Amino acid sequence: MGGAAVLLGAVAPVALMVATGYLAARVLKLDRGPLTRLTLFVLVPFLVFDQLWRNNADLAGALKLAGAFALASAGFALAGWLAGRLLGLPWPTRASLTATTAFPNTGNMGLSVAFFALGEAGLERATIVFVVATILLFGLGPALFKGGSLAEQLKMTFRLPLIWAVVLGLAANLVGLELPLNLGGGVHMLAQGAIPMLLLSLGMQIAESRFAVGLYDLGASLLRVAGGPLIAYAAGRLLGLGGADLVVLVLISGMPAAVNTYLMAAEFGGDAELTARVVVLSTLLSFLTLPLVLGLVKMAAGAG
């Protein structure tokens, strides 16, 4: 029971915040748009800068973790694409299936669950994965749905405040920057606001979505939350990951489909309605699967 309580304790605080956001949207009729933009374009860049600035992980370990997630992401995308081909899905649906399989929710859910499961060590590693995932999502996501030149994708990527937070955070870490007048404390406080705001906005997103369960929705959701950890475990072992690095890689890879896959499907093409349903269903399923994934990968990493 003690072990089960620890595993559920990593997910229960996340569920509480998501449920709070859901109820706030239903009862108070809040507009999610400004909250989402504030979170993604202000608080999350502060979180990324703060984590990279203070991160004590060795560069070689961080690069190995980043490489393992990039390799796993290629496996996610291939699995989604092959499933779509085998099922004979039309292109818009196949693109949506590839996207929901390839891009897990490393922000709203990933950062939060890693923090509650492993503390600061988990958050440090999850931030590295989040940075790689964001670059892949915004660099390749639009091309997956619509196409476009490499120059167009790079232009979109470099407009994101997050990318500049990565550059500045890494530079500050390398030179050992010390901010005057306790500005570092202000940066850290803003960074701490990102996780609850991410989860509140996710709950509000779920409240705005129409819930339905069909065979496609269930299959695509299981491919994301169950197939993702298996592919990630293979990629991690292939690159020699172990310990907390392997746990975070597999845990993050078991997250539900990223909310931004719906936004991209709506904006650039793809089946937006199916994508939204998979985002919602995979999120709900993940509250059941994540404790199991966390328990199994902890045992595997310990045994390794």
Please state, rounded to an integer, the average pLDDT across all residues of the chain.
87
Give the range with max mean pLDDT: 69-73, 272-276, 279-283.
69-73
Q: Which of 46-55, 156-165, 282-291 has the lowest mean pLDDT?
A: 156-165
- pLDDT > 50? residue 230: yes
Find the mean pLDDT for residues 4-16: 77
* Dihedrals phi, psi of 108, to nearest 5 degrees: -50, -50
d(CA 91, CA 157): 25
d(CA 183, CA 143): 39
Full-model pTM: 0.82
Query: How many Cβ atoms are within 10 Å of 1's Cβ, its own excluded?
Result: 5
Q: Which domains are seen in the chain, by residue range?
A: 2-303 (1.20.1530.20)
pLDDT tens figures, 17-70: 889 999 999 999 888 778 878 887 899 899 989 988 988 777 788 899 999 999
Burial of 189 (0-12, 13-18, 19+ CB in 10 A): exposed
* Dihedrals phi, psi of 56, to nearest 5 degrees: -100, 5
- What is the three-state SS of 282-300? HHHHHHHHHHHHHHHHHHH
Are 18 and 206 in contact by the 8 Å Cβ rule? The answer is yes
* pLDDT band at residue 5 under the 50/70/90 scheme: low
Tell me what pLDDT residue 267 has: 63
- pLDDT > 50? residue 1: no
* pLDDT band at residue 293 under the 50/70/90 scheme: very high
